[in-house]
Structure 1
Amino acid sequence: MRRFAIGAAVSGALALTAVSVPAAQALTPDISFSNVVVNGGKSITVGTSATVEVPVTYTITRTADVQFDDVSAVVELYRGSSYGTAENFLFPGDVPTCTAVDDTTQNCTGTIAIDPEIDLYDAKDATTWKSAGVYYRFDDDGYDYIGRTTSATATLKRAAKVTTNASPEPVKKGATLTVTGSLTRANWATGSYSGYTSQSVALQFKAKSSDSYTTVKTVTSGTSGALKTTVTASTDGYWRYSFAGTSTTAAKNSTGDYVDVQ
């Protein structure tokens, strides 16, 4: 997926000028952004390397004298108390597609591209981001633009990884089964996954004949996110650790580890 370069350039200019448009480039169109929805209202999970393309839908309403095409208006995200003093921005991905409702209203679909290696700096980015609509126009003299905040928000979370290993395999019925694993989460400052300590993680079991997992006990992650507990082996089935997530880190289930009980 590619980033919408024009939108990023204009948004960067907006950030540098704290949303104040220079007098020589003043643009005062009657245009508004409404019905902004980011990622279908769901939180956004980002790891350490893959770019995440986040869907965005919005409505543009303007007066008839405002020039418009599909690259004229986009939605971006920002982190901070206000747009003008934002600490970070997330810019549009591919060119949005807009469909006319009437002469002055368009419904648009676009994306916001999040490349964790470029766009995310540290743990502060795992929070609720605000949104802004940006309208801009190019001509022979350059461009002019205007940015307007909207009421829409989006929660950005760090991706988690969970592993499970049950041993010994096979195991005798009634014997002790040791289940180890780890809980880690994306560290955007280092570009790697770091241990997530002091977190409640459920140990779950699914019998060979069952379609669903049941929680057996809760384990607290230790140093470097280490998980370890013991259970009594009773029947064939799958063991896994399940992390419910937090306000900053997404939920994650490990792959089930099958144990043959003899």
Structure 2
Amino acid sequence: MRTRTVVAALSGAVALSALVVPAAQAADKVQGDTKITSVTVNGGKDIVLGTTAKKKITITVTGTDPKGIKEGMAVLWHGKKFEPEHLDGVMAPPRESKCTKVNATTGTCKIVIDANPREIWNGTAGKWKVMAGLLANGRAEDHIIVNAYKTVSVKRAARLTVNASPEPVRKGKAITVAGALTRANWDTHKYAGY
């Protein structure tokens, strides 16, 4: 089932944009003068997921081309290589990017991904790679795709609970403090002791 989920997510990513090369040719690709100048994932913060709730993750891809920027894309992936048989996790956007013109040659594209803890498992916690790409304006379709532009940490959420008793506390009397540290388990979709 995990393999089917990865392949389905990857297929969705491929269908979303003309920027993504077929999986058999999944290598960095540059055509023309298009350049990526920065990629920011989740505002520069780690991605922390609980057990069931999806979380919207924003990725911004900024770049330049003499003709300007038309479209951007980004995919988060976990595995040895960006090829279906080497992937064990993919988070792809369900919709197209929204690009904003900064000036005649520069654009910033915003991509929103729904990170779903039900589509990943404990073994995928850690560093994920960011595939990023930009498509330039014009007929030549200048573009750039970088399979591993940067990495981002995807972490299991943790909870700490603490309680002191008895309440109210009386001066000079003993109190008992109890607590629990639990962490999201993506395999069982429950919080468990840590």
Q: Give the TM-score taking structure 1 as reference length.
A: 0.56
* CA distance in structure 2 between the partners assigned to 1:79 and 1:6 by the alignment: 12
* CA distance in structure 2 between the partners assigned to 1:51 and 1:81 by the alignment: 25
* CA distance in structure 1 between the partners assigned to 2:91 and 2:9 by the alignment: 14
* CA distance in structure 2 between the partners assigned to 1:38 and 1:191 by the alignment: 25
* CA distance in structure 1 between the partners assigned to 2:90 and 2:9 by the alignment: 15
Compute the displacement of 1:86 (Å).
2.9
Partner of 1:165: 163
Q: Considering only aligned residues, what root-mean-square deviation do their CA atoms show, in Å?
A: 3.3
Partner of 2:90: 89
Compute the displacement of 1:132 (Å).
0.7
Shift of the 6–82 alpha-carbon distance from structure 1 to 2, 3 Å rule, reads closer
Aligned residue-pair number: 173
SS at match of 1:176: coil
Partner of 1:74: 73
* CA distance in structure 1 between the partners assigned to 2:25 and 2:15 by the alignment: 10
Question: Is the CA contact 2:75–2:90 (under 8 Å) kept in the aligned structure 1?
Answer: yes
Partner of 2:132: 133
Q: Percent identity?
A: 34
Mapping of 1:7-156 within 5 angstroms? 9-11=12-14, 17-20=23-26, 29-30=31-32, 31-62=34-65, 64=67, 69=70, 72-84=71-83, 85-118=86-119, 120=120, 122-134=121-133, 147-156=145-154
Shift of the 164–15 alpha-carbon distance from structure 1 to 2, 3 Å rule, reads farther
Mapping of 1:209-224 within 5 angstroms? none
Rg comparison, structure with higher value = 1
List per-residue Cα deviations over 1:2-56 (Å, max 9, x = no partner). xxx99961348969824449xxxxx973344330111122111110111111121
Shift of the 16–180 alpha-carbon distance from structure 1 to 2, 3 Å rule, reads farther
SS at match of 1:82: coil
SS at match of 2:129: strand
Structure 2 runs not aligned, ≥5 long: 1-7, 136-142
SS at match of 1:50: coil
Shift of the 15–167 alpha-carbon distance from structure 1 to 2, 3 Å rule, reads farther
Q: Give the TM-score taking structure 2 as reference length.
A: 0.72
* CA distance in structure 2 between the partners assigned to 1:17 and 1:7 by the alignment: 9
Compute the displacement of 1:83 (Å).
2.1
